[in-house]
Amino acid sequence: MNTLTIYALQAAAPAAGQQQSALPTILMFAAIILVMWLFMIRPQRKQQKELQNFRNSLKKGDKVVTVGGIYGEILEVNEKTALIRVDGDVKLRVDKQGLVKDYSETAQS
């Protein structure tokens, strides 16, 4: 065996009677979980709460967009559904979970 292989084996295996600490590994996993929570889970939960509050506060006359990209004005709101007017006399009953945006403030008449 060459010298490089011997050094690599000695570095990889702890010496007899010595035990490696698991603390650095545990700290690394904790840091990874913390970063994932800060950058992925927390913002997603905040966005879900805002969307749920939007859906609970829907009222007649609000202008909304569905997940399919259909723009309409709310005519009636029930517990789970909403009736929206799309164009003229065209009305659609959609699930409230399918409404994602209120464009009342940005809509121009």
Hey, what's the torsion of the CAs at 108, 98, 87, 82, to 10 degrees? -100
Which pLDDT does position 21 carry in this prediction? 85
The SS3 of residue 59 is: coil
Q: Look at residue 11 and tell me if it is in a domain.
A: no
Which pLDDT does position 4 carry in this prediction? 59
Which pLDDT does position 102 carry in this prediction? 77
101, 80: one domain: yes
User: How confident is the chain (109 residues) per 10-residue block, as mean pLDDT?
Assistant: 60 60 90 91 92 91 92 93 93 94 65
| Host domain of residue 50 | 23-57
For the domain that residue 90 is a member of, what is the CATH number?
2.30.30.100
pTM greater than 0.85 (yes/no): no
64, 76: one domain: yes
28, 65: one domain: no
H or E segment and range at residue 74: strand 71-77
Which pLDDT does position 103 carry in this prediction? 77
> Which DSSP symbol is given to 96?
G
Which pLDDT does position 75 carry in this prediction? 94
36, 76: one domain: no
CB of 82 closer than 8 Å to CB of 76: yes
CB of 99 closer than 8 Å to CB of 58: yes
63, 103: one domain: yes
